[in-house]
Every structure is written in structure tokens, then in C-alpha cells.
């Protein structure tokens, strides 16, 4: 058993690491290797691009959500039976909590998983100055794990001399350069990159990118570097299984696509059966569902279509009002409102479960990691403990709820959030279940209870009122 792996990082966001990571993944796939991929941090969209390349689900590794032991376990579980793993960093290599520490940074992930890191250096407008930048990153921490660099937007004429200088003066390997590429750019929008399915001819573009990287990068050298990573393992957190195999309806389509694969996996490991449906295209929640999950995404881009699917909106409202347990995050929470704005400020009627209106703002609100603690009795109970989560949204609500208190892990900022009842929690925070396995466990227990009460009432609607 072996776990070859490398981590692609950079000095800052916007350095090209997602594009280069996808190109490397494509090149490895075209060599016939089975590849697993990971994203450092809470981002949803970069793993979607990874998945498009490797034809398998990409996972997140985040040391704010999970301790090093669990993080190593999650890595080893996903990397099992693959030939090589590629991790993509977040932000700048050392950027962590609060912008003032390395906690939960890409650097900390490299250290916790003992993974060799290769730094993408954006060389636009620089020549020999790149050495100072590289030297600073390599030496800022004695155990930086930075073993090499890739020079992005580097002149092919200048590259041989800069490569020689870096390797001679700093002692790290240079694994090639990436010339300026204009035919494989990935556009961004308010929450980050556009989704993979929105990029025209993405697979062709990635194939072309991989062909360029095969010419300009030392792919053999990267594979060799990955092979130096030692075997690691970890242990999962302890959790109970739920009897009864509750059926959970999971919204999954272009409007609701921000889903952590590990969240789904722990639900299944606890005994749940997952049924996927589309609030955009389907007419009702899957038959026999004992619970409902409405994750985040881009409902604001599909507000008209969601509004026009009145049958689905009514079905969700009726089922939640009859007591169907539901957890809704960010976009899913916005969908449950009486009204929601789209990106142009047009207002549409939504599911009508939560009173109020979701509306667009001009800047990110309450951005970043948070610790959640209950303030009121609700679906998960008052003794659930701390739930680690994060927020990332350009929308707000006239009814943000008060069932939980959110605290920034660095600093003193705090606020009330999440609309909650005994059968519902709905708010802007995105939850990561492995941070507190009691979250999925208690949700599934409520789903089993709902099924029993529904059965005792003969399946009639309105059998189990949450309000």
C-alpha cells in the first residue's frame, strides 16, 4: 500500500493554481493513472472542476473542520485504491484563520498530511525577483514542506536561466513553467468560478491544457516527488448508526450543487438512504422521504425557474408544514423564504416556509469560518455542542433567525442566526458534519421519528406539526 501525493499551492489567490491543478490532473489521467483529488478549505467549486477531470468525486480537507487525525483518515479513505493524489491549496500558502495565523492554512494541511508542496509562482512582470519571493516562502517556516515550484506566465526564453538560479541559490526543484494561456481561462462570478458545465468545451480545453503542460512541466518529476510522501493513516470520529434506514431526499441540480461529499458519506454510513431530486425540474419531493436536505448553490441564477415550478414549491411547503425534518443551508435556506431576489433585483415567490425575503447585497456578508452554538431548542437539540461551519454569500435576509449564535474563531464578532424548530434548521451557515457527527445523527433520528408518526397516522398529511 502506498499513497503518492503532492500539494499544489501558491503565494496568493489568482496565481493560477486551479487551472494548473486541473491540467496536471488531466495529464495524469491521460497517462492511465487512477487519480484522487482534494481541495484545502471549504470551497465547493474547485472540487467540481477536479471531478470533471478525474471522473470521480473530489473531497475537501479542512483543518478548521476536523483535527489532524480525522483529516488524515478522510484523506486515506478517499485516496485508497488510486495511484496518485493531488491536493489544491486555498488562498496563499500560509493564510489561515482571521488572516493573522497559519491555523487551517494550506501550510498546516501539508504538515498534517506530510505532503510535499509545489508552489505556483505567478511570474508576470518579474524575472530574478521571483527568487526573493520563493526564498521567503521556503524559509518562512523551517518545515514549509515546499519542495518545488512551477513558474506561471514565464517567458520560455527566460525560463532556463531562472530555473538554474532558483535551484542553485534556493535549493528547491523547478518542475517547469506555464506559458501565458488564453484559450482555457475560467470565468468568475460573485461566489467564485463559474460552474464546470457552464464552460464551453471544457473537456477539450483541459485536454489541450494537459498537452501544453506535458511539454512545459516535468510531469515525471512531479510523479517522482509524489512517491516520496510517506504512508499516513488516521481514525474517524466515533458515531452511532441509526436504526431504520431513513430515506433522505437531497436537492441536487444546477441551483443546488454546493454539497460536501463527506457529508453525504457519513449520512450513508449512519444508515441513511439518499434519493436525489431537482427542485428545478421535478414535480415533488421523492415519495417516501423521511427527511429533506436543501444544500446551497446558485438559486439566485434560477429564481424564475424555481418560481415557475409551483407544484414543487407547494409540495415542499406542505411536507415541511406536516413535520418533515429539514436542514437547509444558504441557497436552500433562501429558497424556503416567502420571496427571493434574483441577481437583477427582481423578486419571486419561493416555497413560503420561512417568513421574509432573501435579497441581494453589494458585498460578502459574514464571510468565513464560524463556530455555532444553540440558543434555542430546535431540530438538533440544545446540547449538540459546537458545530463548525462557514458562510460565503452576497445575499441576506429579513429573517436570519436566532436559534444559534455564530462566533468568529478569531476575534470577538458574533451574531444570531438560523431559523429553527423541532423539525427544521435553515440559515446561511454551511455545516460540515465530521466536525460534529451528532449533527447528522440527530437529524436522522428525527427522520426516523417522523416516519413512525406518519405510519401511525396512516400516512396522512399534517400528522406531525413542528410549529
Bridge-based pairing of strands 35-40 and 59-61 is parallel
Between 335 and 395, where is the model more confident?
Answer: 335
How much is the mean pLDDT over the chain?
92
Q: What is the pLDDT of residue 252?
A: 97
Superfamily of domain 5-226: P-loop containing nucleotide triphosphate hydrolases (3.40.50.300)
Beta-strand pair 188-189/173-178 = unpaired
What band does 191 get if pLDDT is binned at 50, 70 and 90? very low
84-100: string of b/e by CB count within 10 Å (b at 16+)? bbbbbbbbbbbbbbeee
**pLDDT (average), residues 31-41:** 95
Residue 434 phi/psi, 5-degree rounding, is -70, -15
What's the pLDDT tens digit per position in 92-142? 999 999 888 999 999 999 999 999 999 999 999 899 999 999 999 999 999
What are the residues whose beta carbons fall under 8 Å from the beta carbon of 400, sequence distance 6 or more? 415, 416, 417, 418, 419, 427, 428
Residue 168 — φ and ψ, nearest 5°?
-80, -45
The one catalytic residue among 123, 330, 417, 419? 330
Q: Is the dihedral of CA 191, 254, 439, 428 positive or negative?
A: positive
User: Residue 144 — pLDDT band, cuts 50, 70, 90?
Assistant: very high
pLDDT digits (tens, 9 = 90+) for 239-270: 999 999 999 999 999 999 999 999 999 999 99
Domain 247-456 falls in which CATH fold? Answer: Rossmann fold (3.40.50)
- What is the CA 353 to chain-centroid distance, rounded? 27
- Which of the four pLDDT bands, split at 50, 70 and 90, describes residue 50? confident
Q: How far apart are CA 148 and CA 119, in angstroms?
A: 6
Confidence of residue 464 (pLDDT cuts 50, 70, 90): very low
What is the distance between the alpha carbons of residues 219 and 222, in angstroms, rounded to a whole number? 5
pLDDT at residue 200, as a whole number = 63
Closest CA to 447 of 418, 414, 424: 424
pLDDT band at 348 (very low <50, low <70, confident <90, very high): very high
Grid coordinates in use for 330? 444558504
pTM of the model: 0.92
Q: Determine whether 22 is an active site residue.
A: no
Q: At what angle do helices 17-30 and 219-226 cross, to 10 degrees?
A: 90
What's the mean pLDDT in 430-447?
97
71: phi > 0 → left, psi -120 to 50 → alpha, else beta; which? alpha
Looking at 23-27, 41-45, 306-310, 428-432, which range is the least confident one? 41-45
Q: Where in the chain is the domain with CATH 3.40.50.880?
A: 247-456
Residues of each domain in the chain carrying CATH 3.40.50.300? 5-226
pLDDT attached to residue 184: 58
Read off φ and ψ for residue 15, nearest 5 degrees. Answer: -90, -10
Residues 406, 372: contact at Cβ < 8 Å? yes
Cell 458574533 sits on residue: 414
Amino acid at each position: 500500500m502506498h499513497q503518492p501525493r503532492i500539494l499544489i499551492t501558491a503565494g496568493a489567490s489568482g496565481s493560477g493554481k486551479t487551472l494548473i491543478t486541473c491540467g496536471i490532473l488531466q495529464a495524469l489521467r491521460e497517462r492511465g493513472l487512477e487519480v484522487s483529488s482534494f481541495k484545502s478549505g471549504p470551497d465547493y467549486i474547485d472540487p467540481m472542476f477536479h471531478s470533471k477531470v478525474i471522473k470521480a468525486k473530489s473531497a475537501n480537507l479542512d483543518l478548521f473542520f476536523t483535527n489532524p487525525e480525522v483529516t488524515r483518515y478522510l484523506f486515506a479513505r478517499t485516496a485508497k485504491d488510486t495511484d496518485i493524489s493531488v491536493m489544491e491549496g486555498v488562498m496563499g500558502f500560509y493564510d489561515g484563520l482571521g488572516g493573522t495565523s497559519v491555523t487551517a492554512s494550506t501550510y498546516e494541511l501539508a504538515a498534517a498530511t506530510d505532503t510535499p508542496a509545489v508552489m505556483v509562482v505567478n511570474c508576470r512582470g518579474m524575472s530574478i525577483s521571483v527568487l526573493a519571493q520563493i526564498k521567503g516562502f521556503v524559509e518562512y517556516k523551517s518545515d514549509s514542506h515546499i519542495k518545488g515550484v512551477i513558474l506561471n506566465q514565464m517567458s520560455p526564453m527566460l525560463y532556463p536561466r531562472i530555473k538554474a538560479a532558483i535551484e542553485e541559490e534556493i535549493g528547491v526543484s523547478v518542475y517547469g513553467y506555464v506559458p501565458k494561456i488564453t484559450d482555457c481561462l475560467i470565468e468568475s462570478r460573485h461566489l467564485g468560478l463559474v460552474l464546470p458545465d457552464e464552460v464551453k468545451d471544457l473537456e477539450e480545453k483541459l485536454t489541450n491544457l494537459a498537452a501544453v503542460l506535458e511539454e512545459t512541466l516535468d510531469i515525471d518529476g512531479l510523479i517522482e516527488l509524489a512517491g516520496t510522501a510517506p504512508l499516513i493513516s488516521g481514525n474517524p470520529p466515533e458515531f452511532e448508526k441509526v436504526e431504520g434506514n431513513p430515506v433522505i431526499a437531497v436537492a441536487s441540480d444546477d441551483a443546488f450543487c454546493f454539497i460536501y461529499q463527506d457529508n453525504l458519506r457519513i449520512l450513508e454510513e449512519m444508515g441513511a438512504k439518499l434519493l436525489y431530486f431537482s427542485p428545478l425540474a421535478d414535480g415533488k419531493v421523492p415519495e417516501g422521504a423521511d427527511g429533506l436536505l436543501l444544500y446551497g448553490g446558485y438559486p439566485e441564477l434560477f429564481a424564475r425557474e424555481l418560481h415557475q415550478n409551483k407544484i414543487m414549491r407547494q409540495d415542499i411547503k406542505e411536507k415541511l408544514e406536516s413535520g418533515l425534518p429539514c436542514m437547509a443551508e444558504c441557497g436552500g435556506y433562501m429558497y424556503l423564504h416567502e420571496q427571493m431576489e434574483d441577481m437583477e433585483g427582481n423578486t419571486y415567490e419561493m416555497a413560503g416556509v420561512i417568513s421574509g425575503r432573501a435579497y441581494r447585497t453589494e458585498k460578502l456578508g459574514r464571510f468565513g469560518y464560524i463556530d455555532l452554538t444553540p440558543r434555542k431548542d430546535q431540530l438538533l437539540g440544545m446540547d449538540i455542542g459546537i458545530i463548525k461551519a462557514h458562510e460565503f454569500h452576497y445575499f441576506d435576509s429579513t429573517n436570519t433567525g436566532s436559534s444559534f449564535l455564530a462566533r468568529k474563531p478569531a476575534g470577538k464578532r458574533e451574531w444570531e442566526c438560523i431559523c429553527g424548530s423541532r423539525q427544521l434548521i435553515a440559515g446561511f451557515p454551511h455545516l460540515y458534519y465530521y466536525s460534529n457527527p451528532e449533527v447528522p445523527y440527530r437529524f436522522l433520528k428525527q427522520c426516523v421519528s417522523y416516519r413512525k408518526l406518519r405510519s401511525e397516522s396512516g400516512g396522512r398529511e399534517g400528522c406531525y406539526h413542528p410549529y
